[in-house]
A and B are shown apart, each in its own frame.
Chain A
């Protein structure tokens, strides 16, 4: 099933290498079910079915970006709690010739980072979660209204090994090894003795969303992550038995790669200044996702999305309203 889904996804993606009107629309209709429930980051949010995805997401994108194509650098799949998933991350590129989501066109080549998760049933996608790093695009356009990120914010490369397109079958032993390391690492986050350290290569790369930034080396990552977590009191990642936490929709591994996604999976109370916003004491939940690459017994690269505009909205800052 996983291999079959990968092949379906591969043919879908092929139509986006140099898309034209006919081929991308047909590809969407073939891949997504008419009733698929498609969730996209703020300000797009909820979309219904293949036609909705064409009309509300892709058509406006094709209009805004001339020559728009996509390049995926990680494609993996797996089964999570009985459901088959396919996921990928990479970049769209195109020349921005029309405004998009309130962002003014700059008439230049721009990149849009994406991450996608698709639940497959009977050869069709029935449920999707789609992340775009819109703050990264805002920074590229020079319209990001908040302070610059403490780390590097810009284009994020794919795996250093260029082996992220896993269309074949992975050794289940390798996959299970990857998943175990990721789950152990996640369960040790927020522990007093930094037990999560031991699962990472010392010189790991953490590719965070724009606004958070990218970091090299576990210490630099920690110097970002610990203060970030402390902005949200009671920081919890889904994993505990606490019923108030909303579950992840996916956590799978495929060879040396693993992924995790939650559409509201990290929770906390906003108690410290975060992205220029004074504490609101509001409870927030984040839309987040990760891909990891393992080498040997250590995690070496980690690509992360957080729906930052959605998070900001929860603490009363409407990023898109500020663009007007």
Chain B
């Protein structure tokens, strides 16, 4: 495990300043030749390191020539005998040229990322890459949603404690406490009595994807979470609860989480997609007509003693809205283009 983290940290750090020079060899080294790489909409699936370079990194590095990678969270864990590493932070660079048809603003721009890599023999074989493209559109002055954000829209900072990069082995009791706390909290979401509240520090921070926004305080979070919980009927939520029929289209579409693990005070979880339902109430300005949709999602939590205090969240809202017949890019007159650069 410590070795995987070292390999991953090394990969991250080659992008620290000199991404142009080093990215190719770093990617070829880190990803297995035939790794399955899942990336948020509109990219979706990429096969292997070579395609990742050609289809993803080269166009990105062309658009952001001075790319600089900042890691805020990095740790690893084992679930079902699978070894995983995860990371979150931002790419920062001058958005100098259009990227996938998204128009450049020629200013310093932050692109928030979250990643999960399943490791085998020191290489990534299965990967999930989250980018907050709505946050990018926000920064270039093209808000693409029908509604204003429900929370604060801003750069999302790393852990308050600056201790999210975990390279040393952690106390296994602490790790277990963190994981159990998150799993119990998750089980108590969507309960009438809101039992999930007691797992959170009253002054917790919830850093949501652009569109949902960020909140301070458990009441602030509840103002997002409670309406959100009420838009699905029938639903299937991760591996815990469902009101849809077993074996139904929705049940089969939702896969629950691909990984969930803790290390020290931190916990990570991701699902591709993790939950879904039929839209039964207006959400993000979309009229409810019982449309089926699923959500690709990832989370990182930080625990302090007996409470969860910070939670970083990605939801692939572009993918979710596409299923609800709303094209985020078209809404701001962007036609997505994939060009070889």
B17 touching A201, Cβ below 8 Å: yes
- Min Cβ gap B98→A in Å is 18
- Min Cβ gap A135→B in Å is 15
A157 touching B157, Cβ below 8 Å: yes
Q: How far is the CA of A291 from the CA of B163 in the complex (A)?
A: 20
> Which one of B107, B109, B155 has the greatest number of beta carbons of chain A within 10 Å?
B107
B18 touching A203, Cβ below 8 Å: yes
Partner of B216, one of A67, A213, A215: A67
Partner of A215, one of B71, B90, B108: B108
Q: How far is the CA of A214 from the CA of B72 in the complex (A)?
A: 19
- Tell me which residues across on chain A come within 8 A of B161, comparing CB atoms: 71
Q: Does B50 contact A (CB under 8 A)?
A: no
- Tell me which residues across on chain A come within 8 A of B68, comparing CB atoms: 160, 203, 205, 216
With A155-B157, A164-B162, A217-B94 known as contacts, the answer to whether A109 contacts B216 (CB < 8 A) is yes
Q: How far is the CA of A67 from the CA of B155 in the complex (A)?
A: 19
Q: Does A324 contact B (CB under 8 A)?
A: no
Partner of A109, one of B16, B92, B94, B152: B152
Chain A residue, CB-CB nearest to B107: A152
Partner of A158, one of B17, B162, B165, B203: B162
Q: Does A230 contact B (CB under 8 A)?
A: no
Chain B residue, CB-CB nearest to A214: B108
* Residues in A51-97 with C-beta less than 8 Å from chain B: 66-67, 69, 71, 73, 91, 93-95
With A109-B214, A162-B72 known as contacts, the answer to whether A154 contacts B154 (CB < 8 A) is yes
- Tell me which residues across on chain B come within 8 A of A73, comparing CB atoms: 162
We find that the number of chain B residues with CB closer than 8 angstroms to chain A is 39
Partner of B217, one of A66, A157, A160, A217: A66
> Which one of A155, A158, A216 has the greatest number of beta carbons of chain B within 10 Å?
A216
Q: How many contacts between A and B, using CB within 8 angstroms? A: 97
A162 touching B152, Cβ below 8 Å: no
Q: Does B151 contact A (CB under 8 A)?
A: yes
Q: How far is the CA of A205 from the CA of B91 in the complex (A)?
A: 12
Q: Mark B255-295, 1 if CB is under 8 A from A, else 0.
A: 00000000000000000000000000000000000000000
Q: Does B158 contact A (CB under 8 A)?
A: yes
Q: How far is the CA of A17 from the CA of B155 in the complex (A)?
A: 20
Q: How far is the CA of A150 from the CA of B107 in the complex (A)?
A: 8
- Tell me which residues across on chain A come within 8 A of B162, comparing CB atoms: 73, 158, 162-165
B66 touching A217, Cβ below 8 Å: yes
- Tell me which residues across on chain B come within 8 A of A201, comparing CB atoms: 17
Chain A residue, CB-CB nearest to B149: A108
Q: How far is the CA of A158 from the CA of B162 in the complex (A)?
A: 9
Q: Does A34 contact B (CB under 8 A)?
A: no
- Tell me which residues across on chain A come within 8 A of B165, comparing CB atoms: 162
* Residues in B111-167 with C-beta less than 8 Å from chain A: 139, 151-152, 154-155, 157-158, 160-165
Partner of B201, one of A18, A160, A215: A18
> Which one of A66, A67, A156, A158 has the greatest number of beta carbons of chain B within 10 Å?
A67
Q: How far is the CA of A18 from the CA of B158 in the complex (A)?
A: 17
Q: Does A140 contact B (CB under 8 A)?
A: yes
- Tell me which residues across on chain B come within 8 A of A202, comparing CB atoms: 17
- Tell me which residues across on chain B come within 8 A of A158, comparing CB atoms: 157-158, 162
Partner of A216, one of B92, B155, B217: B92
A220 touching B151, Cβ below 8 Å: no
B151 touching A109, Cβ below 8 Å: yes
With A109-B215, A205-B92 known as contacts, the answer to whether A213 contacts B107 (CB < 8 A) is yes
Partner of B93, one of A91, A111, A216: A216
Q: How far is the CA of A201 from the CA of B17 in the complex (A)?
A: 9
- Min Cβ gap B130→A in Å is 18
B154 touching A95, Cβ below 8 Å: no
- Tell me which residues across on chain B come within 8 A of A213, comparing CB atoms: 107-108
Chain B residue, CB-CB nearest to A162: B162
Q: Does A309 contact B (CB under 8 A)?
A: no
Q: Mark A133-147, 1 if CB is under 8 A from B, else 0.
A: 000000010000000
With A216-B66, A216-B92 known as contacts, the answer to whether A157 contacts B155 (CB < 8 A) is yes
Q: How far is the CA of A150 from the CA of B105 in the complex (A)?
A: 11
Chain B residue, CB-CB nearest to A217: B66
Q: Does B103 contact A (CB under 8 A)?
A: no
Q: How far is the CA of A106 from the CA of B214 in the complex (A)?
A: 14
Q: Does A151 contact B (CB under 8 A)?
A: yes
* B residues neighboring A (CB under 8 Å): 16-18, 66, 68, 70-72, 90, 92-94, 107-110, 139, 151-152, 154-155, 157-158, 160-165, 201-203, 205, 213-217, 220
24 chain-A/chain-B pairs, Cβ below 8 angstroms? A18-B201, A66-B217, A69-B160, A91-B157, A93-B205, A93-B216, A94-B216, A110-B152, A140-B154, A151-B108, A155-B155, A157-B70, A157-B158, A158-B157, A158-B158, A160-B68, A164-B162, A165-B162, A202-B17, A203-B17, A216-B68, A216-B93, A217-B66, A217-B94
* A residues neighboring B (CB under 8 Å): 17-18, 66-67, 69, 71, 73, 91, 93-95, 108-111, 140, 150-152, 154-158, 160, 162-165, 201-203, 205, 213-217, 220, 300
> What are the 4 tightest A-B residue pairs by CB atom distance, in nearest-first order?
A155-B155, A109-B152, A152-B108, A71-B160
